Each structure stands twice: as structure tokens, then as C-alpha cells.
A and B are shown apart, each in its own frame.
Chain A
Amino acid sequence: MTNEASSTVVTEVACPFCGLACDDLSVDTAGEALAVVGGGCAKAQAGFARLGVSHDGASARVGGQPASLEAACAEVARRVKASAQPVFAGMALDVGGMREVMELADAAGGVVDHLYSEIGWRSTRVVQDVGYVTTTLAEVKNRADLIVLVGTDVVSKASRFFERYVWNDEAMFEPAPAARRIVYLGGGLNTAAGQSPDGRAADVFDFDRARMPEALSTLNALLAKQPVSEAAPLGIELARWQALVEALRAAKYSVLVWMAGDFEPAQVDLNINAIMSAVRALNVTTRSNGLGLGGADGELNASMVHAWQTGYPMRTSFASGIPLYDPVHNGTARLVEQGETDTVVWISALNDKTPPPPEAKVVIAPPTLKLEHEPEVFIPVSTPGVHHVGHFFRGDKGAALPLRALRATRLPSAAKVAAAITAQLKEVSA
């Protein structure tokens, strides 16, 4: 599969360090750490450099003391078995890791919660309430004529969005990419990437992003040809809003982009609902689509696997022997706060930056993760796409990318650790 440019550089590598999962990276494997030498971005370079080492000397710990992997897994199994309500949190995993954690969580009668679920469940509520009309990145690359970024600049989280999908050299259909029109809704965004290659600045609707529901209501009112009483909603002349509505109506394939994590948490479903309302109104006469981007830290790996195996999205409890979905009740923070869980197991193979909550008694993560407290059990694991092969869902749901093994390590994968704990758990139970 690999096209080796030289004996140590691997090309067409897919990157697991943000939701775009760019697959055009060249990674040099010669040094002690992996080096991105083509494609990629700062986040990719840092991720491959930091995690792309062999982690020699890392060892599992129980009670702060070195322990064998087997002993550490047995200790986790014992704790999970004794727990009244275990919670498996973090979940920055590839598909294979998530598959094994699901089996563990079911056997343990636990709850599975990704680090972005507090936003994610609100996004999911939109498909449960009204549904959506959306598109994927390859369609944007070839068809989009008007791109509206709703409360996000995308690039702060997924830096190569414009490079890879907007300002391309060519597109299959009209218009030429350089002629695309970019609009930002909301102030305080990094709009530089929205400037066209020939120097055309993006159209920025500068307002307080916490007032996004008002902005989207204004657009929806104008789309529905309803009167808007204010002369300048959110301090922007009505004529500009009206011009945007006319541009959306005239566009052949407009795309309204959001990142749920960039909305105020309490407004996530409200805003996406409003975007969908606009998109549906536009589709009566032309084509328009939403594009929700996310997927960093394996968010979609976790949500996809959870949904296909159990039927339900995350924040489902397996405590009673059948899955019970309650995303408000089953959030890690709430369960911890209310004293409804006695065991938080933090599992994260892709993210070594986000600290686990102090209540996490078990931490299964790369050895580079800095811990504020020594957990009762720590098991170091390897990283998918760095040390072992795997799969990663891109943030638009358009593709699952294959991940490569680029660096040897003696550390086990999160999948292997989860499977070992499940096996121990079943032995304890038997």
C-alpha cells in the first residue's frame, strides 16, 4: 500500500490528531520521534513527534508501584467488578479500541462517555428532533459556491479545511474554487483563511457569537419572507442580512458549516436546528446543505461504534442488563458530582493532553499524559495511527480512514487492554 519516497519516509499517511483526518502526510520514521515532513499541520507535527516514540521504559502501575500488565488489568477488573456504577470516560480511541471498550462496558454494567459528549449529545438531539440535510467534504471541494461559516472559523480546530477543501487548484464543477464566496457569521474568529487566493476578503458578520440564535432567527425570518422589525439586527444593517439571504437563494450549492464545540453549550441544538431550518427552506428551490465538522479525539469512532452495536448513542447505561439511553443523566461530570459513580475509568489512546478528572481511579492512556494525581491504577497504551493500525472516522461522517503503524513499541493497544480486563472480569464473575 505505501509509496515509499525513501526508505524511512512513509507517504499517504492518515492523521488521527484532528477531525479532518488528512491522509496526505509524509512521515519520516528515521529519528527517535516521528517527523511529519510533508502535508500535515502544527497539530499533526506535534502529535506525531510527542506520541511517535517507542515509550521505552513505560510500565503499568498499581498504587504508584510498577506492576505487570496482567496484574494491572486484573486489578482494574476487580475494581470494576466491585463497583456499583463504573463509568468509562475519555474514549479518545480508534474504532478497534472502542469496540473492545463496548464489550467491557456491557460486561461491567457501566456507562460510556466521550470527552466531548456534553456537546455531542446536544448535536445528536437535532437528528432525533428534526433530522438534517447535510453534505460531505468531497462534495464541498467540487460543488460549493457559497460557504457560510456559522460561529466558527474551523481552522482553529481543523487547520487545513480551506487548504484541502476550499481553495483548491481546480474543482469538477463551476465555479472555479478561487471564485467561491466565504461568509463568517460571528465575531472574534480567525477569518484570514477565508480570504481567497486572489486576495478577496471574506464577508464577516461581526457580532457577539453568544447571540447566534438571534442571528439565525433573522436569517430564517428573511428566508420565510417575514418582517424583521429592527433596522440593524445585532448591529448589522438589515440590508446586509437581506443580501446574504439573496445570495443563498441564488447559490447553486451553498454549504452552512458549523462546529458544535464552538457554540455555547446550551445553544448547540438550538443553533443546529436553526441552521437546518434555513437549509430546508433553501432546498425548496435550490440545493443547500449543512456540514457539521467535529470528530477530533475519536469522537465519531466512539459515537458510531456505540450506535451500531447497541442501537443507542453514548451516555447509555448497561447497569440493568439492557441498554438504557439517558444523555442528561449519564454524563460523567453529573454522575461524579451527584456521587452516582464510585469508579471512573479513563481510557484515551489518542489524547495525551486532556487531564482525566481527579476522580479517575483508573487511567489507561499514553505514558506522555501528565497526571496531576497518581491514579490507583495506570496502564500505559500505544496510539493508533502511530504504533498500530486502526480506523478513524472523519468529522463529516464521509469516510473512515485506515491508520498506519509507523513506530514499534512494546506497549499494548487500548483494545488489547480492554479485552484483557473483560477476560479477567468474566473470570472473576465465573
Chain B
Amino acid sequence: MSVIKLTGGRVIDPANGINDQVRDIYVKDGRIVAALADGDKVSAEYNVSGRVVMSGAIDMHTHIGGGKVNIAREMLPEDHRGDPVARTEVTRSSCGYCAPGTLAAGYRYAEMGYTSCFEPAIIPMNARQAHMEMGDTPIVDTGGYAMLGSDDFLLRMLVANEDQKSINDYVAWILHSTQTLGIKVVNPGGISAFKFNQRKLDLDEQNAYYGVTPRRIIQTLTRAVHELGVPHPLHVHASNLGVAGNVDTTLATMEAAEGRPIHLTHIQFHSYGTEGDRKFSSGAARIAEAINRHKNVSADVGQVLFGQTVTASGDNMSQYRNAAFASPKKSAVMDIEMEAGCGVVPFKYKDQNFVNALQWAIGLEIFLMVEDPWRIFLTTDHPNGAPFTTYPHLIKLLTDRSFRNAMLDTINPDAKAMSNLAALEREYSLYEIAIMTRAAPARILGLTDRGHLAPGAAADIVVYTENADRERMFEKPDLVFKDGELVVRDGKVVKVVRGNTHVVKPEFDRGIEKKIEPYFRRFHSVRMNNFKISDDELCECGGGSKLIPHACGKRS
């Protein structure tokens, strides 16, 4: 039995309404407990008085595993050379900056106080690979969202006007078969449309073959996810990514959810207007106003930060279009298995480039104008807007107005003139940062035992020395505990543990397999039974990860 005591820390735990209160925290066998029982002996005590204590941070949208990420790694040896991770007594060697190896990614996340990371774009057929890569991402818990919406099976169901119950059964079957935590839709129907040579697909435009619109896909899938009681709302990468004027599409996409929960991901890339001489402007105010008004809507930002990165997306329609802007000049675009696709395009965001600088400002405007920190999440859409290692810098931009304005003064002056950022006075508090990086992601994903520090929670705990320079503070925590084990001290990994895999298993009628099995035999490249990932197999893919299923409260 292991009993740990953290003594005298300033606890910030928004899920339990605790804002900077001095408290002792007890950990017994990896869980937080209210107090010690008779006979419990403290095996390790850490005096953390005066220091800030939060639960482990959660990245709810980060591309850390799966086919497209591995293509990015292979594509970019020039990215890796400057960023090696050396072998130590406890860690293995790895490397990479914007497309790091799984080992480098796990160590670096832990070293920044992150203890859970979620891959948001798992092509069902590629779920094994995604779980294998996440299984080789040390220390952090993982999980993912399965991509639907351009898969021929669903589109055929829509054409056949199958009832919502059958669709719900299919969606639940996908969640079980791929061992995932949520459903993602990427450019709804657009990846399929690209295979039929369509190059764009607006919300109410029909897929050339199926006649189905993105709006219908969003309506159907938001309803399915909601009725199945999956905690995480449909995770939506909307139509027209990166296109000037797409703010209208994004606002209409919110309406398409018809009041049901919907999460709009990397919304910065979907918040562009067409004003000004260059027909490219900020739609942030309209987006923020809509999020403030629609309580069913949440979003993560996908903040752009300047420098070299690589964009990796399931949206091959958009990525094919963006390949013209690749830097360095190379790109990989794939159609994949009648389900989806992917596109990998290296990109360098430049602060003197008008569009890039305005993208930077738009992301910050959204952060600062959305009022409820429970519904706006801190992401760079790693690596699409910037690598996750830039999070401490992003936190400084959000918490320090003078720093933000000093940065604003250095960007492309025309972009600066087009942004209202200088007028935004808001500075995020530590409490709000803890909401958007801990409490809120745990809540929106249904992770009841993560993202907080109440008795019963998993002991994923981070201790920081407070520093007015929030970048310094958040880039190097003093202590990080994962399930009660001390894994990081002074910003360096001291012990490597294996994280858990989070999944949902909604109830459904297995009779749906009578429709799915013949489809696989007729049209797919594998048999249905070889597509499904069992619990035992998942643990093997994860290299021995523990499976944590989260409850779904069925609503139909």
C-alpha cells in the first residue's frame, strides 16, 4: 500500500469550486482520499506549502497517434534533427518537434503537467494503429474519437432513409468496435465527395453521388450521440476549413445541431470573414457571440502560433487544396478504405504574413470573447496550429495582457489593424486556466475520475511554483503524479508508467451486425470480425494499458 501526503499546497480545483485554498491532499493506492484511515502510514510526504496544486491537465484534441501522424513523422526528418530526446536511465531516446515520436510526445506532455491526451481523428479501420501509437505514448492516459460522416456505410443508411434507431446502433457499434470515447465528423460528407471529384462542399450542398448534405449528417450524428448518452457531444470539424467567409458556414453548423450538444473543433480555422482589401477578416466576434448565446455549443480553439509545423487532418479535400501552400513543399493526401481520408501538409506560420498573423489574432480574440471557460478549450489542434509544447506560451498570452499587446505590436501591421485584440482587456485567471485545461475537458468527455482533486479521483496531480511569468510556470512543474506515482520532478521525467485507455460502451442492439457483416464481405477489404477490436486486443495494442469504460446514460 502506498500513501502519499501533499502538505500545505494552494489548491485550485474548479470542478469542486475550490479556488486557491490551502489544503492537504492524501493519496492512497493511486486515488485521492479524504483522510487517512487508522493504521495508514504515510510512505511519502511532500511539503508543497505556498505552491499551486492542480489536477493533471487534459488535452482533449491533439493528434498524437494514427496513420496521418506517422506519415508526418516519416515526411519530416528535418523537423526532428534539432529536437532529440536523449536516452536516460529511465527514458528511451526519441525525437521530433512538430511531429514527435510517441515516446517524445509522452515524456513532454508529462513534463508539462499533462496526464491525459485524446486523439480526435481515428479512422475506424485505423483504430488499431491509433491505439498502438497511443499505447507507446508513455505516462499519459489516452483515448480517441472515431471518424464518421464520410463512411459509405452511414451515407448508404441515410440514402435508404433508415430510422434513427438503426443509425444509433451503427454509431454505438463503431464506438465498441474501435474502442473509442466519442464520435468525430470531419468536413461532413466532404471526404466522400472528394472521392467523387467534388472540391468543396457547403453545408447545404449535396454529395454528388449520395445526394446527402453535410447538414443532414450533422443532424443525424448529433442526435445519435445524444440519444446514445455518449458524454462527449459530436466533435465537429466543420465544412470549408480555412476558407475566407467560412464564419457563415460555422454559424449555420451550430444551428444544424438543432439545440443538441455539439462541439466545434479548432474553431479558429472556421472563423474567417471576407471583409477588407484582402477579403480576409476576423469572424471571431460573431463566433464568440454565438457560443455565448448557444449553451449547447462548445469549442476548442486550435490556436495558431508562429513557426514551423505540420498540418495533419482527415480532411483530404481541404488538405489537397492547401498543398499549394506547403512549406517545405511536399504533401501527402490519401483516400482511405471507404471510410475517410487524410492529408499531411507541412506549414510555416509567419508573423509578418497578413493571413497567418490574423489567424493568430483570431484565435486569441475567440479565447477572450467567449465568456464561459467551461465551453472553450485550450488547444492548438496539435500540430496543426502549433506543437503542443507551445501551450505555456499560449497560457501567457491569455493571462498577461501587456505581453499579449507587446506581441501584437510585432505582427504584420495590416493584420493588427484588422483585429480588435488590443481592445480586449481580459486576462485569464489561474482558476480559469484550470477550468479550461482540467475541469472542463474532464466534464465534456465524461471522465468522472479525472480533472479534479476530490476524494475518489485518480491521483493525477501537478504542483507548480507560482511565477508571474506564466510561461515559465506552466512549462516546468515541480512535481507531477500519475495515478499516484511521482513521474516528473523539476520538469524532468523520473519514472515512466503506462497510462490508461478511456472508452465508452453505449448500449445498442447487436442485431445491427446482420446488416454490417454482409457489407464487409461484399465491399470492404477485411471481414467484420477482423475489424472489431476486443477488450483483450485493445490492451495488447496498448502494450498492457488498462481499459477504463465510462458510463453512457441512454436518452431514447
B94→A128 contact, CB < 8 A: no
Chain A residues near B541: list those with CB within 8 A: 391
How far is A23 from B529 in the complex, measured between Cα atoms in Å?
10
Given A287-B197, A322-B87, A311–B99 Cβ distance below 8 Å?
Answer: yes
Contact between B527 and A23, CB atoms less than 8 A apart: yes
Query: For residue A100, which residue of chain B has the nearest CB?
Result: B543
Interface membership of B180, Cβ < 8 A: no
Query: In terms of DSSP, what is the predominant structure of the interface of chain A?
Result: mixed
Q: Is B403 an interface residue (CB 8 A)?
A: no
Q: Known contacts A322-B95, A323-B94: does B101 contact A12 (CB below 8 Å)?
A: no
Is B510 among interface residues, defined by CB-CB distance under 8 A? no
Give residues 517-556 of B contacting A (CB, 8 Å): 522-527, 529-530, 532-534, 537, 540-541, 543
A137-B525, A321-B87, A321-B93 are known contacts. Are A143 and B195 too (CB-CB below 8 A)? Answer: yes
Residue of A nearest to B133 (CB): A308
Measured between alpha carbons, how far is A171 from B344 in the docked complex, in Å? Answer: 29
* Chain B residues closer than 8 Å to A138, beta-carbon distance: 125, 337-338, 523-525
- Checking A99, A137, A139, A322 against B543 with a beta-carbon cut-off of 8 angstroms, the contacting residue is A99
Given A99-B136, A130-B330, is A307 in contact with B338 using a C-beta cutoff of 8 Å? no
Q: How far is the CB of A415 from chain B (nearest CB, A)?
A: 11
CB atoms of A127 and B534 under 8 A apart = no
Residues of A within 8 A of B99 (CB): 311
In the complex, the answer to whether A307 meets B73 with C-beta atoms within 8 Å is yes
Interface size, chain A (Cβ < 8 Å): 67
Task: Please measure, in the bound complex, the distance between the C-alpha atom of A298 and the C-alpha atom of B186, giving whole angstroms.
Answer: 32
Identify the stretch in A48-56, A202-210, A396-404 within 8 Å (CB) of chain B at 4 or more residues.
A396-404
A134 within 8 A of B: yes
Closest Cβ neighbor of A396 among chain B residues? B525
Q: Which residues of B contact A14 (CB under 8 A)?
A: 530
Q: Are A136 and B94 in contact (CB under 8 A)?
A: no
Q: Most chain-A Cβ atoms within 10 A of its Cβ — which of B77, B526, B532? A: B526
A173 vs B207: C-alpha distance when bound (angstroms): 14
A398:B125 contact, CB within 8 angstroms: yes
A106 to B333, CA, bound (A): 32
User: In the complex, A307 Cα to B101 Cα: how many Å?
Assistant: 7
Bound Cα distance A142, B524 (Å): 8
Interchain CB contact under 8 A, A12 and B525: no
In the bound complex, residues from chain A placing their C-beta under 8 Å from that of B530 are 12, 14, 23, 401-402
Q: How far is the CA of A88 from the CA of B99 in the complex (A)?
A: 25
What's the Cα separation between A6 and B534 when bound, in Å?
A: 23
Interface centre among B69, B93, B101, by most A CB within 10 Å? B93
- Number of residues in B with C-beta < 8 Å to the partner? 69
The answer for the CA separation of A119 and B526 in the assembled complex, in Å, is 28
Q: With a 10 A CB-CB cut-off, give which of A136, A289, A310 has the most chain B CB atoms.
A: A310
Per-position 1/0 for B60-71, Cβ under 8 A of A: 000001010111
The residue that B525 contacts in the complex, of A103, A136, A323, with Cβ under 8 A, is: A136
On whether A399 and B332 interact (CB within 8 A), knowing A23-B527, A131-B75, A283-B320, the answer reads no
A400 adjacent to B95 (CB under 8 Å) = no
Q: How far apart sit A304 and B136, CA to CA, in the bound complex (Å)?
A: 12
Tell whether, in the assembled complex, residue B102 and residue A308 are in contact, meaning their CB atoms are under 8 Å apart.
yes
Contact (A308, B65) CB under 8 Å given A95-B132, A128-B77, A323-B84: yes
Known: A322-B87, A391-B541. A310 touches B95 (CB 8 A): yes
Q: Is the CB of B94 within 8 A of A139?
A: no
A393→B102 CA distance, assembly (Å): 18
B121 CB to closest chain A CB (Å) equals 16
Q: A399–B525 contact, CB under 8 A?
A: yes
- A325 near B80 with CB under 8 A, answer yes
Rounded to whole angstroms, the CA-CA distance of A106 and B90 in the bound complex is: 12
Complex-state Cα separation, A394 to B323, whole angstroms: 27
Which of these, A1, A136, A325, A391, contacts B334 with CB under 8 Å?
A136
Residue of A nearest to B329 (CB): A130
Check A398 against B529 for contact (C-beta < 8 Å).
no
Please determine whether B526 and A401 come into contact, CB atoms closer than 8 angstroms: yes
Within 8 A of B (CB), among A77-132: 95-96, 99, 103, 106-107, 124, 127-132
Q: Is the beta-carbon distance between B85 and A322 smaller than 8 angstroms?
A: yes
Interface flags for B294-313 (1: CB within 8 Å of A; 0: not) read: 00000000000000000000
Please tell me if A180 contacts chain B, counting CB pairs below 8 Å: no
Q: For residue B194, give the distance in angstroms from its CB to the closest CB of chain A.
A: 8
Determine if B73 and A312 form an interchain contact, defined as CB atoms under 8 angstroms apart.
yes
Q: Is the CB of A309 within 8 A of B136?
A: yes
- CA separation between A12 and B532, bound complex, in Å? 13
Q: Which residue of A lies closest to B136 (CB)?
A: A309
Q: Are A136 and B336 in contact (CB under 8 A)?
A: yes
Q: What separation, in Å, do the CA atoms of A136 and B341 have in the docked complex?
A: 10
A103 cross-chain contacts in B, Cβ below 8 A: 92
Question: With A312-B73, A325-B77 known to touch, is A389 a contact of B525 (CB < 8 Å)?
Answer: no
Q: In the docked arrangement, what's the CA distance between A399 and B209, Å? A: 26
Which residues in window 399-442 of B have CB below 8 A to A?
none
Q: Would B94 and A310 count as touching, CB distance under 8 A?
A: yes
Q: Are B101 and A309 in contact, with the CB atoms below 8 A?
A: yes
Interface residue B96 (Cβ < 8 Å from any Cβ of A): yes
A contact residues around B334 at 8 Å (CB): 133-136
| Inter-subunit contact A321/B86 (CB<8 Å) | yes
Q: When the two chains form the complex, which single residue of B194, B330, B525 contacts A127, counting CB atoms closer than 8 Å?
A: B330
The distance in angstroms between the C-alpha atoms of A130 and B75, with both chains bound, is: 9
Is B152 located at the chain interface by the 8 A CB criterion? Answer: yes
Assembled-state Cα–Cα distance A95/B84 (Å): 24
Within 8 A of B (CB), among A310-334: 310-313, 318, 321-323, 325
Q: Would you call A170 and B84 a contact (CB within 8 A)?
A: no
Is B129 a contact partner of A139 (Cβ separation < 8 A)?
A: no
B100 contacts partner chain A, Cβ-Cβ < 8 Å: yes
Interface string of B111-126 (1 = CB under 8 A from A): 0000000000000011
Interface members, chain A 145-188 (any B CB < 8 Å): 164-165, 170-173
Q: Mask for B344-355, Cβ within 8 A of A = 1, else 0?
A: 100000000000
Closest approach, in angstroms, between the C-beta of B258 and any C-beta of chain A?
Answer: 30
Does B335 interact with chain A (Cβ within 8 Å)? yes
A387 contacts across to B, CB distance below 8 A: none
A253 an interface residue at 8 Å Cβ cutoff? yes
Q: Which residues of B, 123-139, contact A by the 8 Å Cβ criterion?
A: 125-126, 128-129, 132-133, 136
**Docked-complex contact B335 and A323, CB < 8 angstroms:** no
| B525 with A309: CB separation less than 8 A | no
Q: Is the CB of A127 within 8 A of B101?
A: no
Check: B358 CB closer than 8 A to any chain A CB: no
CB distance from B183 to the nearest CB of A (A): 20
Contact partners of B81 in chain A: CB under 8 A: 325
5 closest pairs, A vs B, by CB?
A311-B101, A322-B84, A311-B96, A138-B525, A131-B330
**19 contacting pairs across A/B (C-beta < 8 A):** A1-B532, A127-B75, A131-B330, A131-B333, A134-B334, A138-B524, A283-B320, A304-B129, A307-B101, A310-B101, A311-B94, A311-B96, A311-B100, A313-B74, A322-B93, A323-B94, A391-B132, A397-B67, A398-B336
A95-B132, A133-B332, A136-B336 given; name 10 further pairs at CB < 8 Å. A1-B529, A3-B529, A14-B530, A129-B330, A130-B329, A139-B337, A170-B522, A308-B73, A389-B537, A401-B530
